[in-house]
Structure 1
């Protein structure tokens, strides 16, 4: 195993992706205890919510774990766009006996401006902190480095990877287009190169002088071994852990992931306002007829998405949920997190 991972104290090159809203402290602790790097996503909670999650992970493990924050451009409100989007969704709300929200709000703050969350990270000093959607300011990076925190950041192309390396980040997560959940593109409005995991991992491993972690479509030991052969030091798996009992995925999400529909995933911005790969469902069908520039800014659009999902779910309809999943979804297994890590480690040896 790569010396960099040994310095982190890992026993296997397996990282559980920090899926906000799905990964839990219990899952993170279980993965870390099994020799991988467990993760929690705190981008969608406030500072004290982040602290509680970090404390909960530490209650379950004394091994390293990762905390992920969102570094998206702060939202710009646009009353006309927001009203238009609510009007577009109104028939769906009415179908489930609900009214759309009177107005939409920025439901969580970007780490770029969240001083309270930075203070919590500096106080709690989790072993690893990762950035998604971009990079924070140099002073925030330096403060975390000075606190002894190992830093990771997502990149979806070479230019972003070079920016990550130049910023002094310890390792780069190469997020292929196959990956589930939100694309980590720095600029939502720029054209997405849509590089796959194989090409991106190899490109970054050859062009950068920092460790590369492969992410996107990796579901089993064979996928991890293939990632290592491309030059990655580890593989990050997200969709593979959604069906674990420790995840917070609801029953409808689990059923969709483990059912025949898992073979169809869609990249859509309709649910949250930023492109994300999701199991095809009622919300992604809406997204097929929507241009991204018609949507409210992320995460303002997500306020509507969450409200519509809650309204439909109350009637037993789960098809409006943010059922994030990568293209490897049909390979998902419903196993306890520690058992899944053990299975992955065994599969790696058998390849």
Structure 2
């Protein structure tokens, strides 16, 4: 059995971590989870340095407990003007449906932490207690600098090779993201074949690495959490279970869509594989979409055009396979209900 040292270091009452969901998690949600005895997370991947500093400060003002921050470590996009123009032409009829035109050009709207020195300096200055990474790992020099802050360092793995890479880099724990999880797949290489392992199978595969494992994906009940612990995890990370919480920034349309329980994996919205509620956008074949996050620039523009006419079927309603099981209740109650 893997030692629970990491959880003990954080002095958590409940081995429940709220997933860092860019766009829907909030400082209020993270703080509520922390105050309830879990570990709340603040998503920084879609924020610039100024907004990140504000989010960290807001969370710290709401709780004196440890909380996590999360960074995106994707490879910077390979810009391909022809591919980007072709994708915009592909989406043109959908824009025109709402009386709009696609943008003339696309931008790389989210900067990878791997090339974001100002964000690194912010973390060194503010010293969050837990720092997690998605889409890969920071550069070696960044990791060395962050180790000096004393933070617990975590990263997402979707496969055994990724888990081994995390261990080799000297991190403190692995978030084992199963195929059922909502939001973006944490794969290091978006072009590589995805093993599509369910959460418990992935936890069992990673158990031999020797690092503490945090199970993520399809954890909606206490029984789910206990099954993950029995498989070798020391804690569970849950996102979908918190989407109906009043502290979350989940839109009304997103909340309503979850009732169907129908989720699909798509890359059409952002350029990377991600699981969300099935809607008009997920019905588009995204095989030719530009790299993440360039494609996301187009996706957000199309959603904005749709929303301007009252159409909600083009939103990025990220959620896992347990979406229909999410309960509308305060985050603290969800922490207690999930605690293994």
- Residue equivalent to 1:331: 325
The answer to whether 1:53 aligns with 2:55 is: yes
Task: Write out the 4+ residue segments of structure 1 that deviate beyond 3 Å after TM superposition.
Answer: none
- How many Å apart are 1:6 and its aligned residue? 1.7
Corresponding residue number in structure 2 for 1:256: 257
1:41-80 to structure 2, matched below 5 A, reads: 41-80=43-82
Q: Secondary structure at the match of 2:223?
A: helix
Q: Distance in 1 between matches of 2:253 and 2:101?
A: 22
1:120 & 1:99 partners in 2: Cα distance?
Answer: 38
Equivalent residue, structure 1, for 2:8: 6
Q: Paired residue for 1:279? A: 277
What's 2:298 paired with? 304
Mapped partners of 1:196, 1:272: distance in 2: 23
What's the CA shift for 1:108? 1.4
Answering whether residue 92 of structure 2 is matched by residue 94 of structure 1, we say no
Partner residue, 1:236: 237
- C-alpha separation between the residues in 2 aligned to 1:344 and 1:153? 22
Residues 9 and 63, structure 1, Cα contact 8 Å, conserved in 2: no
Q: How do residues 1-351 of structure 1 correspond to structure 2 at under 5 angstroms?
A: 2-205=4-207, 207-257=208-258, 259=259, 261-262=260-261, 264-287=262-285, 290-291=286-287, 294-345=288-339, 348=340
TM-score (norm 2): 0.97
Counterparts of 2:149 and 2:177, CA distance in 1: 27
Q: Is the 8 A contact 2:6 2:172 kept in 1?
A: no
2:14–2:336 CA contact under 8 A, matched in 1:
no
The answer on whether the counterparts of 1:70 and 1:111 sit within 8 Å (CA) in structure 2 is yes
CA RMSD of aligned residues (A): 1.1
Q: Distance in 1 between matches of 2:88 and 2:57?
A: 38
State the alpha-carbon separation in 2 of the partners of residues 137 and 337 from structure 1.
Answer: 34
Deviation at 1:4, TM superposition (A): 2.4
Measured in 1, the distance between the counterparts of 2:77 and 2:175 equals 25
Structure 1 Cα separation of the partners of residues 228 and 308 of structure 2 = 41
Give the drift of 1:2.
Answer: 2.7
Shift, 1:60, TM fit: 0.4
2: CA distance, partners of 1:110 / 1:4: 27
Provide the secondary structure at the position in 2 that maps to 1:91.
Answer: helix
* TM-score computed with the length of structure 1 as normaliser: 0.94
User: Matches of 2:11 and 2:314 in 1, distance apart?
Assistant: 40
**What CA distance in whole angstroms lies between the structure 2 residues aligned with 1:97 and 1:340?**
42
> How far did residue 280 of structure 1 move?
0.4
Which blocks of at least 5 consecutive residues in structure 2 are unaligned?
none
Tell me if structure 2 keeps the 8 A contact 1:90–1:100.
Answer: yes
Q: Whole-Å Cα distance in 2 between the matches of residues 76 and 3 of structure 1?
A: 40
- What is the deviation of 1:298? 0.5
1:48, 1:120 within 8 Å by CA — same for their partners in 2? Answer: no
Aligned counterparts of 2:338 and 2:212: Cα–Cα separation in 1:
21
**Shift of residue 313, structure 1, vs aligned partner:** 1.3
Contact 1:253 1:323 in 2 (8 A): yes
Tell me if the contact between 2:136 and 2:156 (Cα under 8 Å) persists in the aligned partners.
yes
